Amino acid sequence: MIPRPPWALVLALVLALPAPARAADAVLAATLDNGLRVLLLEDHRSPIVSFQVWYRVGSRNEARGATGIAHFLEHLMFKGTPRHGPRQYARLVEQNGGQDNAFTTQDVTSYFVNVAADRLDLVLDLEADRMRNLLLDPREIDAERQVVIEERRTRTEDDPDGFLGEEVGALAFKAHPYGSPIIGWMEDLRRLTPEEIRAFYDTYYVPNNAIVVAVGDFQAPGLLEKIKRHFGTIARGADPPPVRTVEPAQNGERRVTVRKQAELPIVYVAYHVPSQRSEDAPALEVLSTILSGGRASRLYRKLVYEGQAALEAGGDYSYFSLDPNLFWFWATAMPGRDPATLEQALLAEMERLRTEPVSDEELARAKNQIEAAFVFQQDSIHRRASLLARFELIGGWALGERFVDRIRAVTAADLQRVAQTWFPDHGRNVGVLLPKP
């Protein structure tokens, strides 16, 4: 499956950080001889385990003309190996009381199973088997192609929000593959061949391009030995080709207007911003919360509650993006309201961030929102495992221990400086969706 757009998920992922109170040595980290990275964290509060395999491949790794192949392959990972036939993976997990799923983003493809601790050996066997032994039967590929095409229709072409978001993303990126939709363009989905999918699988589904993460009720040294037995015999592959594309600087406002069968107009605005490698990343995360973090946020208060210009409004920043990405915010107009007026209201909030310091109360509230949600989500072993993987992807799992401190260090002056730096008028990308008559 494809999750909601990455910008809709980042805050939830950030807030699921492993608790800073956990000692650094609580995580058992190892790299097998074949390059597989393993992160294990014991959590004995309940007799369950979240076992996850993350591959360092997403839509950013696709070539023009082959968009959507990473997500397509995610579907095919459930279509069987010589040892476990089509659809047997999910059936076996379900028969043993587990829950499994997967998702593809711009940067990664992740597979996970939450299961009773005494059934973990089954999951190890299944995941190691499909890492290199997929059947990729042409008949299964053609059948699943129709499933993916229908998913694109329902999630993008028949969904006004998804449709406009895709148009703005393609508008904002001229060179970088972030401009292609994760699910792929329809023309590519219809054309992709079994040979291309096999080549993609052989390139990226190798142990040296994967991270295994487990959190739950186990003894970490013993589980590491089991992982070595199941995965350690898989041959190391060639290192996948790096993505070297750098998006050129934007030299003027870009704009797209589309007409679509929809109930109400929608306005999207996006600016190019740096990834977590920048020292400005924590301030951008706080700005995103101030703008769109709940009913106390500026966009909700000004556009929905007070101005009654929008039915809903939101935004997000992709903190975990591997490459520089977009800072988004959007609004859906109230019936009878002009989208041009709504656009000006959105831009006025951005201008306010550039010209007026955020109040101490707003700054404290945004930080408290992030920290409070962080504390409340510590009970999820699934979230804890996911965040270990995400921080490992951007430079090392231990980076998670610094996140809250980085948020706490953000000042009002930082926010104003960052807004002035990254939200210039000539750098905005605007999308407007107008309902068809």
What distance in Å separates the CA atoms of residue 50 and residue 167, rounded to the nearest whole number? Answer: 36
Three-state DSSP at 255 gives strand
What distance in Å separates the CA atoms of residue 284 and residue 270, rounded to the nearest whole number? Answer: 13
DSSP, res 389: H
Three-state DSSP at 130 gives helix
Pair of tokens at residue 269 = 């605005």
Task: Give Cα 260 distance to the centre of its chain.
Answer: 26
Nearest one of 289, 316, 321 to 390, comparing CA atoms: 321
- Sheet hosting strand 109-116, strand order edge to edge: 27-31, 37-42, 210-216, 48-55, 109-116, 99-104
What distance in Å separates the CA atoms of residue 80 and residue 147, rounded to the nearest whole number? Answer: 17
Q: Could you confirm whether 74 is annotated as catalytic? A: yes
What distance in Å separates the CA atoms of residue 87 and residue 79, rounded to the nearest whole number? Answer: 5
Could you say which of 74, 127, 166, 392 is catalytic?
A: 74
- 256 class by beta-carbon count within 10 Å (0-12 exposed, 13-18 middle, 19+ buried): middle
User: Is the Cβ–Cβ distance between 258 and 310 less than 8 Å?
Assistant: no
Pair of tokens at residue 351 = 């201008």
What distance in Å separates the CA atoms of residue 230 and residue 217, rounded to the nearest whole number? Answer: 19
What distance in Å separates the CA atoms of residue 140 and residue 21, rounded to the nearest whole number? Answer: 47
Q: What are phi and psi of 197, to 5 degrees?
A: -65, -40
User: Is the Cβ–Cβ distance between 251 and 426 less than 8 Å?
Assistant: yes
- The number of beta carbons lying within 10 Å of the beta carbon of residue 342 is 25
Q: What are phi and psi of 260, to 5 degrees?
A: -150, 150
Which residues does the annotation mark as catalytic? 74
